[in-house]
Amino acid sequence: MSRLNLDDFTDLIERPDGGVRRDAEARRERQIVPPGALGRLDELGEWLAAAQSAAPVRPVERPRVVLFAGDHGIAEQGVSALPAGSAEQLVRAVLEGASPVSVLARRFEVPVRVVDMALDCEPDAFPEDVVRHRVRRGSGRIDIEDALTLQEAEAALRAGMAIADEEADSGTDLVVLGDISVGGTTAAAVLIAALCGTDASVVTGRGGLAIDDLAWMRKCAAIRDALRRARPVLGDQLQLLATVGGADLAAMTGFLLQCAVRKLPVILDGVVAAACALVGQRVAFRAPDWWLAGHDSGEPGQAKALDRMALEPLLEQGLKVGEGAGALLALPLVRSAAALAAELPERPQEASGKPEDGSGKEPEGTTE
């Protein structure tokens, strides 16, 4: 397998259709509800129209939740509220419909796809459609060793690209992207700190289950040590993912980049998705134009990454559970924006010359 050239993505990824966006803005100007009255929904509808290259915008009819799963060796250092190697139980809960994202997905009638990239369990623990892209069992302890070999990182990134192609080819018209991991927020924080040039303490959060102060200090130390290993390879994004990422993070990065190539819009979930998006931005600067930030998880690393990409979260509900749940909550907002942009009637042409008081009469005292 020849070495993947990430620079190719710069040429392959185009921006959403600017002409269609202008058409959508002009259409919005003509609708009966004044521009600005719908707040950010106006912007969302116009963004989606440009992504679809369609004005009026089409409804989002075939969304899908895609969750990349993996265990991270750094969890052995007590940086998570969950024991190392326990992501298998989280995946099982999603597949059995017993997790928050599963409940929301049923309510919204959105299918959920789980992809095992590096769970610390036997490969036959889950069905073939879950495990067929697996790269390895767990990822290395990034404070003292590489998460992956360079070959494993490339295989994971290519797997993410292949999954994006599968989704685009199957007719998926919007993806809600999340992760199922133990130790993943630590790896994500390292990537964000490295790419933003910040210290460990700036990006160290308390994870989905709110670790205590001692665990936070262990996490901060692990991120600090991993950062020392990350900085020498900052110029090579594939090597960076191999050094301090993980198979799930590498796959998510490839998935995001290929979604941008295929013009498939994505709603990002928490800090792990944001970290992968930040790596993707470093690879191809136009790629973030195809992504939305679903929600603010409260993780400082996520806020740092989104700020760097100029992405503003759609929701602020304090959701820390991960697994795509916060991003999935933003889906009805996107669908609502599309419906309003497409279905609100336009003002009658003859009304355009009427005075703003709506009386239909000329104000008293006017002259020719």
Catalytic center residues: 323
Are 253 and 279 in contact by the 8 Å Cβ rule? The answer is yes
Q: Angle 76-77-82 (CA atoms, 0-180°, nearest 5)?
A: 60
Q: Structure tokens of 229?
A: 């290993």
CB-based burial, 100-128: b 16+ in 10 Å, e otherwise: bbbebbeeeebebbbbbbbbbbeeeebee
Residues ≥6 apart with Cβ < 8 Å to 201: 220
Closest CA to 209 of 323, 91, 98: 323
Q: Which of 205, 230, 221 is nearest to 282 (CA)?
A: 230
CA angle 131, 137, 141 (to 5 degrees): 140
Determine the distance from the C-alpha atom of residue 115 to the mean position of all C-alpha atoms in its chain, rounded to a whole number.
Answer: 15
204 CB-near residues (< 8 Å, 6+ apart): 189, 216, 219, 220, 223, 300, 301
How far apart (Å, rounded) are the C-alpha atoms in residues 210 and 216? 9
Spatial contact of 167 and 64, defined as CB atoms under 8 Å apart: yes
